[in-house]
Structure 1
Amino acid sequence: MNDEPLILTVAPNGAYKSTTDHAALPITPAALAATARACLDAGAAMLHLHVRLPDGRHSLRADDYRAAQAAIRAAVGPSLVIQVTTEAAGVYEPAEQVAVVYDLQPEAVSVSLRELLRPGLSEAELSRFFGWLVQTQTMTQVILYDAAEVAQWNQLRARGVIPEGRWFLLFVLGRYAAGQTSSPTDLLPFLQTWDGCHPWAMCAFGAQEHRCAMAALALGGHVRVGFENNLWRRDGSLAPDNSSLVRQVAESAALAGRPLASAAQVRERFQFG
C-alpha cells in the first residue's frame, strides 16, 4: 500500500464553464476565495486557478491573477498552494503563456507541454523557461494528454532541453468534448510510458471522475477533481459545489489508509515556497 500523503487538488472552474453550467461555479475573486476555504476544509492542499475577464472569458492577465490570489490568501492564508494555469484555451500564444509566468512569479504553475511545443516558442526559449522554473523553485506541474506526450517529455529530458527538476506530472484522462466520460483504464497507457522519475496526478472528465481518482490513489498517484472537468458525484447526483467532490475523495482516501498532504507537506515535497 502506498502511504505517501495524497496531494488532493481542486480545479474549481476551468476556462470554459460558466454559471449556466452550474450556479455554484466560482468565477469572481470573492467566489474563488469562498470555494478555496470550503475545499481546504474538505481536504484539498492545492487549488488550480483559472481567472476570467469581466465578461467571463478566460484570462491570462497578471492583474486578474493577482486579484484572485489576494482574495484567496485573505481567506485561507498559506494553507493552500495556489497553482496558476497557463492554459491557452484557444486564445493565447505560447509566448504570452510564458510571459505571464515570468510576470507573476507564482509559487506553483501548470503548463501544457502540447501548448508550449508550438510555433512561436523556440526550443531554446522552452529550455530557458523550464530552467527559470527550476532556478526560481516554482512548483511546476506538466500537463500530458496521452502516452505519446509522456514519451515526448521523456525525450526532451533525455536531450537536456528540459533540465532536471522536481517536476509534477498531470495525466489527463479524456478531452474537452460533449459527453466525454473518462475511465480508470485510461490511466494504463500513461503508466506504461511513465519512467518513474517524477510523481504524477490525474484528472478525469465526466461522471467516472471519482472512480478514476480511486484508481490513481491505489496506484500511488495523486488526484485533481473539480468543476473544471466534472459536475457529478460518485452516486450520479449533481454535486452541490466543488468541496463535495473534494470531500468524497478525502473520505475514500481515509478508508484506503492513504493520508492527505497538507500545503506545507506539498511545499516540502517539491522544495519551494
Structure 2
Amino acid sequence: MVAPNGARRTRADHPALPVTLDETVGTARACHAAGADGLHLHVRDAAGQHSLDAGRYREALSELGRAAPGLAVQITTEAGGLYDVAAQLTCLEAVAPEWASVSVREIARAPELADRVYGTCAAQGTRVQHILYDTADLALLRGWQARGLVRHDQTDLLFVLGRYSTGQVSQPSDLGPFLDALPRGSSWMVCAFGAAEHACLREAARWGGAVRVGFENSLTDETGMTWADNAASVAALRRSLTVAQAPCAASLSHPLSPMPIGG
C-alpha cells in the first residue's frame, strides 16, 4: 500500500507531494504502475487542509476507480487534530467506503460511539483496518472485540512504528512488541517513519506482514536521500522485497519475538 500524502505534510515538505485531486490521481497511477496494490487516501480542502468531507471522498474514489482500476483504495478517518468521533462516524456513514482505516485510540475519545462506528462498518460492508500505535491500543481493541463492539471479522491491523513527530525515526526492533502480542490469524500491516522506513517494512514482510510506504511517513531512503516522488519509493521497496525470507523459517531464532507467526 502507498500512503502518498497524509494529513500533515504539504508541498513545502516535498514538491511532489500530492495535495489536489488531480495530483492524487496522477500519483496513484504512477504508484500502481510501480507496484503498489493499494492506496491509503487522504483528501484536502480548498486550502490544502486535511478533510473528512464526504463529497470530496466520493469524488476521489470515483476518479481513482476510473484512472487506476485494480488499485484497492482505503479512506482514512484520521482526526488530524480537527475532527471528533461523531464527525468520523458521519464520514463513514456518508461515504460508505469499501475500506477504511480507523484509529482505536481516536475512537476511545468517545467510547459510547464505538458500537455505532464498528456496527456501521459491518452493516454497510466497509472493511476496517485498525490503526495501533502501541500494545496498549492492541489490548484495548481486544477488549472491544471480546465485548462485541468490534465485530468478529474486523481483524485487520496496522502497526505504526513510531509517532507523527518531527525527526521521528523508526527502527525494525520497534516491531517486536507488536509481534509478541499479535493475535494468531490476524491480518496485519506496518508503516514506519524516517530513513529506516524500508528496513522496517522489509522486516515486517519477513514475518508475513503487509507493508505501507509513502510520503505520509517518510520522504527519504536509507542514506537520507530524498525520493523523487512516491512512485520511486514504491519501486525501490518492491525491488528490495523480491527475495523475502519466509517467517516460519526464522521464527525460533528471530531476535524480535519468540512467537511463530503464520506458517
TM-score by length of 1: 0.87
**1-structure distance, mates of 2:60, 2:206:** 34
Deviation string for 1:11-61 (max 9, x for gaps)? 000001000000000011110111000110111111000011101111011
Q: What is the aligned partner in structure 1 of residue 99 from structure 2?
A: 108
Deviation string for 1:72-119 (max 9, x for gaps)? 222112x11110000001100000001101100111100000001113
Task: Name the SS of the counterpart of 2:63 in structure 1.
Answer: helix
Q: CA RMSD in A?
A: 1.4
- Residue 132 of structure 1: CA displacement? 2.7
Task: Tell me whether 1:40 sits opposite 2:32 in the alignment.
Answer: yes
Supply the AA of the counterpart residue of 1:101.
L
Which residue of 227, 233, 243 maps to 1:255? 243
Task: Tell me whether 1:92 sits opposite 2:101 in the alignment.
Answer: no
Q: What is the aligned partner in structure 2 of residue 3 from structure 1?
A: none
Q: What is the aligned partner in structure 2 of residue 65 from structure 1?
A: 57
Q: Is the 8 A contact 1:171 1:200 kept in 2?
A: yes
Structure with the larger RCO, 1 or 2 (CA within 8 Å, 6+ apart) = 1
Gaps of 5+ in 1: 1-8, 259-273
Task: Name the SS of the counterpart of 2:243 in structure 1.
Answer: helix
Q: Is the 8 A contact 2:189 2:210 kept in 1?
A: yes
Most deviating of 244-253 and 139-148: 244-253
**2-structure distance, mates of 1:75, 1:148:** 39
Q: What is the aligned partner in structure 1 of residue 173 from structure 2?
A: 185
- Residue 128 of structure 1: CA displacement? 2.9
Which residue of 36, 48, 68 maps to 1:56? 48
**2-structure distance, mates of 1:189, 1:181:** 17
- Residue 166 of structure 1: CA displacement? 4.2
Task: Tell me whether 1:133 sits opposite 2:121 in the alignment.
Answer: yes
Q: What is the aligned partner in structure 2 of residue 176 from structure 1?
A: 164
Q: What is the aligned partner in structure 2 of residue 4 from structure 1?
A: none
Q: Is the 8 A contact 2:101 2:128 kept in 1?
A: yes
Q: Is the 8 A contact 1:88 1:115 kept in 2?
A: yes
**2-structure distance, mates of 1:257, 1:118:** 40
Q: Is the 8 A contact 1:151 1:194 kept in 2?
A: no
Task: Tell me whether 1:240 sits opposite 2:228 in the alignment.
Answer: yes
Supply the AA of the counterpart residue of 1:116.
I
Over 4 Å off, 4+ runs: none
Task: Tell me whether 1:150 sits opposite 2:146 in the alignment.
Answer: no
- Residue 199 of structure 1: CA displacement? 0.9
- Residue 156 of structure 1: CA displacement? 1.4
Q: What is the aligned partner in structure 2 of residue 212 from structure 1?
A: 200
Q: What is the aligned partner in structure 1 of residue 251 from structure 2?
A: none
Task: Tell me whether 1:82 sits opposite 2:82 in the alignment.
Answer: no
Which residue of 14, 26, 40 maps to 2:18? 26
**2-structure distance, mates of 1:178, 1:132:** 35
Q: Is the 8 A contact 1:127 1:163 kept in 2?
A: no
**1-structure distance, mates of 2:56, 2:138:** 32
Identity %: 44
**1-structure distance, mates of 2:63, 2:23:** 9
Q: Is the 8 A contact 1:231 1:239 kept in 2?
A: yes
**1-structure distance, mates of 2:9, 2:165:** 12
**2-structure distance, mates of 1:166, 1:144:** 14
Q: How many residues align?
A: 246
Which residue of 5, 23, 28 maps to 1:13? 5
TM-score by length of 2: 0.90
Q: Is the 8 A contact 1:51 1:58 kept in 2?
A: yes
**1-structure distance, mates of 2:4, 2:52:** 16
